[in-house]
Amino acid sequence: MLSPSRFNVLGTAVSAVDYAGAGAAVLAAAREPRAFAASALAVHALREAQLDPLYRRRLNSLDLATPDGQPVRWALNWLHHTGLGDRVYGPFLMRDLCVAAAREQLPVFLFGGTAVTLARLQVALRDRHPGLIIAGVQPSRFRRITVDEAATDARVIAASGARLVFCGLGCPRQENWVHAMRPLLPVPLVAVGAAFALWAGERAMAPAWMQRAGLEWLFRLGQEPRRLAGRYLVHNPLFLLGLLHQKAGGAFPLLPGEDTSPEYWG
């Protein structure tokens, strides 16, 4: 199966895809199984990629990079006339994939977050998706991991029998992780952002109308003003300025994929 087409948004190749297309691409890799790296990219990720060329190269090497935020979807439609009717939000993509995994008996692995979050998440997922097989979990170490540790993690995941791995390390750590682990695991790795905390019930989800209006950032800012003020009040205007520059013909080169770093987050 061919991966969805990708288009340049501020130098990052973002997939012009809906939930059905994204889910089909991931599930095709899970059924075979074969290596596949995916992430749901919001404004934060695209801004980080602008500031860090190595991270941008890693994003551009992913097999699938969905428009997680409405502003990213709007950017695809405005710059490239893709006609997307909705974003592909990481938590909802995870939900849809869990529905399919439960139906097809494809075991899943959960990587990232704290041990407490993972315990709550397992209960919530089993309640929400009867029949879902959770092959294993691994909390984040909240530090850089070595090549040997990465190899150990890959062996544990492979031995679990998982056919689909969800990563919830947060941007940019999770994209670095799925990029680095892709050569080590012949199954799809999907970075899903805040999905672990949301489905575990540790974080509230923005009302549907705020999500549709692209105001989820405002909801999150109200929840965590100190931590998120710099991200949203600085990066969001700069993202908009960048789009205006690109629309006017400004150059944002698509850097080619980059080899795995010797150390990365886990």
Output the pLDDT for position 230: 79
pLDDT digits 0-9 by tens, 178-213:
999 999 999 999 999 899 999 999 998 889 998 899
- Is the pLDDT confidence value at 77 over 60? yes
List the domain range (segments joined by +) for residue 124: 12-194
Return the structure tokens found at 187: 């199954």
- Is the pLDDT confidence value at 57 over 50? yes
Same domain (yes/no): 72, 107: yes
- Is the pLDDT confidence value at 3 over 80? no
Q: Provide the domain count of the chain.
A: 2
Query: Is residue 157 domain-resident?
Result: yes
The pTM assigned to this predicted structure is 0.93
Question: What one-letter code names the amino acid at 74?
Answer: W
**What is the pLDDT confidence band of residue 262, given thresholds at 50, 70 and 90?**
very low
Query: Is residue 36 domain-resident?
Result: yes
CA distance 141 to 159: 20
CATH classification at residue 178: 3.40.50
Q: Which of 164, 194, 224 is the last residue of a domain?
A: 194
Residue 97 C-alpha from the chain's centroid: 13
pLDDT digits 0-9 by tens, 102-133:
999 999 999 999 999 999 999 999 999 999 99
In this predicted model, which residue has the larger pLDDT, 196 or 143?
196
